[in-house]
Amino acid sequence: MAGAHILHVDLDAFYASVEQLLDPSLRGKPVLVGGGVVLAASYEARAFGVSAPMGIRAALARCPQAIVVEGSFGRYREFSERVMDICRDSTPLVEQISVDEAFLDVSGTEHLLGTPRAIGSEIRRRVRVEIGLPISVGIARTKFLAKVASAQAKPDGMIEVLPSDELRWLHALPVRVMWGVGPVMERSLEQLGISSVGDLADTPIELLASRLGRATAAHLHALSRNRDPRPVVLHTAGKSVGAQSALGRGTADPHELSAVLLGLADRVARRLRKKDLAGRTVTVRARFADMSSHTRAATLASAVSTTAALHRCGIPLLDEARAEVIGPITLVGISVSRLERRRALQLELPFDVGDPTRAGSQRGAAALMIDEQLDAARARFGTEAVGRASVLLSTRGRVADAFRELAEKD
């Protein structure tokens, strides 16, 4: 059996910690980063029950003395890159999964740098001394267990789970530490008498499948026994571009879902154009309150990169997904694949008005012209300076695009 050679590094309360580092007057005080929605809360604020993605008003009701800051988007990316450079000094196998966390496989560098625990300790020391940020590290034989260990090590700690002890350690934890187990699923599991990971591992998979569905049951049952064969991989050039948005308690309102999808389509289309790409396959994902997810996809005759095309194609796909489950949708995502380099737009036959999913139709050409004008305005005045009215006027709390771009990886 292989030893514990995978590290999961996770910067603690990253956005808030950077703000406290940049402004010493914020240190030791409750800090909230965000606008209408809390994107990050310092540990001082979390002590009052504040967490993301809570609304700012609700957060201030719990912690009136909290200090709200909008965020230093460019600095967050800068600090992230410095931390990842330190990680790459320990091993070339670094899989960055977000702006503030990454997996490392140190099996090939132990003979040079020492044990995984020594490597983790050195990373923590360098991040604290050279950058000034707290970071937690989990060390285990699998990616799943390493991530659970880093979460248990917070704040600013390190836990190593040895292979000989991994199931005893994991099974003692509450079932909510499992990937994919949110409050709704946790309540469903409690109704089956499952409160710990050990309870989950001991429950027959057929019983879990009857309540959760076979795919979810198989996923959770495997992880409860630490069966996770995924290796640490280097990110290669993206084969798709996507974005998603969590909707809190969820909504079933078709107008609100359309506005959410339009905002996502705008983000994805803008990133496609920035990379000079277009794509033919559009995929929409919807997650429901019972934690089930449904995905639908469609392939277009020609590659597109406009907001209107993605929204026009995505709406019927979202409607198909909604038809599968009765209840609110808690997350919407859209992605574009089968990518190719954007070509010069050529009008196509027949010369009718057409629709935006036909890139060479009148509406397709008009949609591209509108998007390019928006791109130019945003480049000059900022990404929040202009947008589509139904998105800007949505009653749901909005997250600044700069934050979204930090979190999204192609």
What is the percentage of the chain residues whose pLDDT exceeds 70? 86
178 has pLDDT over 60: yes
Average pLDDT, the chain: 85
- For residue 269, the model assigns a pLDDT of 92
- For residue 106, the model assigns a pLDDT of 95
- For residue 410, the model assigns a pLDDT of 47
Residue 279 pairs in a beta bridge with: 304, 339
- For residue 343, the model assigns a pLDDT of 58
Q: pLDDT tier at 120 (50, 70, 90 boundaries)?
A: very high
Which residues are annotated as catalytic? 101
The pLDDT of 246-269, averaged and rounded, is 89
339 has pLDDT over 80: yes
What is the percentage of the chain residues whose pLDDT exceeds 90? 50
pLDDT digits (tens, 9 = 90+) for 70-102: 887 778 888 999 999 999 999 999 998 888 999
pTM above 0.85, yes or no: no
Q: pLDDT tier at 349 (50, 70, 90 boundaries)?
A: very low
- For residue 396, the model assigns a pLDDT of 53
